[in-house]
């Protein structure tokens, strides 16, 4: 299992729904295909089983009689969290006026992979994180009053 999680905080003046929508907007607009121009892939908005919107990046390969056309991918999920229930008030200065948190999780989809795509997945995640501090990503976060609080990488 390889998961990446980015925690964003938003100020008390910002709405949680507005912050969540801004993160989803950035995720939907991110140019995943430009990161790996040689790797054929699709990225489409999808609904999770719980009905939440997500973005699914699917690696593609030539379909054969033995293998399908999908070669794994990454599922990008976002949700609102609560600062107090997350214990973030212990981690971050109590005087910080944080209104809440948005969690963005990138879950590895290994189904269909015959050859691991760890390198490709890593390149996409690194470019996504870098994009948060540049151009459009930075603008979206600033307009919604959002800050990156932490980035976690779980590799098992």
Report the alpha-carbon distance of residue 119 to residue 117 in Å, rounded.
Answer: 6
Report the alpha-carbon distance of residue 111 to residue 125 in Å, rounded.
Answer: 19
In order, the DSSP letters of 105-141 are EEEEE-TT-SS--HHHHHHHHHHHHHHTTSHHHHHHH
The reply to whether the predicted model has a pTM over 0.95 is no
Q: What is the pLDDT of residue 128?
A: 94
Q: Is the pLDDT of residue 24 over 60?
A: yes
Q: What is the pLDDT of residue 70?
A: 81
H-helix or E-strand spanning residue 89: helix 88-91
50-66 average pLDDT score: 89
Report the alpha-carbon distance of residue 130 to residue 135 in Å, rounded.
Answer: 10
Report the alpha-carbon distance of residue 76 to residue 45 in Å, rounded.
Answer: 9
Contact residues for 61 (Cβ-Cβ < 8 A; gap 6+) = 40, 67, 69, 70, 71
SS3 at position 49: coil
11 burial class (0-12, 13-18, 19+ CB within 10 angstroms)?
A: middle
101-121 residue pLDDT tens: 999 999 988 887 877 788 888
């Amino acid at each position: 299992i390889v998961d990446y999680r980015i925690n964003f905080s938003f100020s008390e003046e910002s709405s949680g729904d507005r912050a969540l929508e801004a993160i989803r907007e950035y995720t939907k607009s991110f140019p995943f295909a430009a990161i790996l121009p040689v790797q054929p892939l699709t990225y489409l908005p999808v609904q999770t089983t719980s009905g939440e919107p997500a973005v699914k990046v699917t690696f593609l390969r030539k379909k054969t009689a033995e293998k399908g056309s999908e070669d794994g991918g990454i599922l990008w999920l976002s949700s609102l969290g609560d600062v107090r229930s997350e214990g973030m008030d212990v981690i971050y200065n109590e005087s910080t006026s944080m209104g809440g948190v948005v969690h963005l999780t990138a879950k590895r989809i290994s189904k269909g992979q015959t050859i691991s795509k760890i390198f490709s997945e890593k390149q996409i995640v690194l470019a996504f994180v870098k994009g948060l501090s540049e151009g459009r990503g930075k603008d979206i976060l600033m307009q919604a009053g959002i800050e990156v609080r932490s980035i976690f990488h779980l590799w098992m």
